[in-house]
Structure 1
Amino acid sequence: MPLTFTLDPAITPALRDGILDLWTDVSNAGGAVGFVPPVTREDVRPELVTHFVAMAEGRHRLLVGCDETGAPAATAFFAYNTHRLQKHWVWLYTVMVHPRHQGKGYGRDLLAAAEDAARTFDGIDAIRLTCRGGTGLERFYGSCGYKEVGRIPAAIRVAPGDDRDDVFMLRPLD
């Protein structure tokens, strides 16, 4: 069953809690979304609130994909650039698909929906994102049209002695 994607949905308590559960579950499954397992909802909540504040201030936008039950199954946050010379591209953050939906093509669907959404933003020519090296994400994003444009070796410390590259990827909006 395909996901239903919505850009800038109304943030209801159910959606807020669903995204919080999604982010916690993805993190605990080893997803590279800003945390290292184990995490609780209370560990993730402050970061989600930070995203919601940025949305309220017009600096971020949310794309959410809901499953047939209406529960959030995938998300991505857009962040606008504030530097006057970089306003022609957006960042894509916290790109995630719930572990129970992995392998269904929803990651590709999410990225396609993100591209479609970004094409509606005034003056946006490209999407940039970063990913944690050593997870295979570079190959996945590459297969979705993103190109690696930079890498900072050992920039992400997952654990003592486990440093990963921070990989920068770009998707021009042809």
Structure 2
Amino acid sequence: MSSRSAPHTTRLSDLHGGRSLMSRRVFRAAAAILGECTDAGLSMSALADRARVAPAAVSAQFPSIDAVLAELYLHRVSSLPLVVDPERCVAARVSGQLRAVTLVMADEPTLAAACSRALLRADDPAVLCARDRIGAEVQRRIAAALGTGAWPEVQDTLETVFWGALLQVQSRAIDYREMANRLDTMLSLILPDTAL
């Protein structure tokens, strides 16, 4: 028997969470290296040494440093919990999802900057693939937060606002935390009938 006081929450499974142990070790190594210095110290051999795996294994899994960084960002985003509470208003649900993705690397500015630069590459097929998957993950999170029956134009608008906000962060115009707060204001304009 269910209770009315306990809201029904929806948990969606992680579509990209099946990373190999080697991949996770490489991601941890990249984060550690970038936590200690600039991305100038990041190389395939440095990653292999830090992750304690063979350089050939890293190169077989990731064709470039930028591919490592793009996949690392995808891994971080897809590892975030996706819990949708239908008792909360739509704007609050969307805010929760976008805030989580916005702040995923807020405490690691060097890593965040390196991942952003990598994701802007247009000439690396592995990066393009990871970027498409990141876009699909953000789209999935917004759709889950909006719920069924949302207009596609609203979803498109929210995605555009989100990616534009991240681009502003990358231009160093604003930091991640301030942008997360600004996104709440933007959401209240796009979804005006609900309060955050």
- TM-score (normalised: structure 1): 0.39
Q: Which protein is richer in helix relative to its size?
A: 2
Highest Rg: 1 or 2?
2
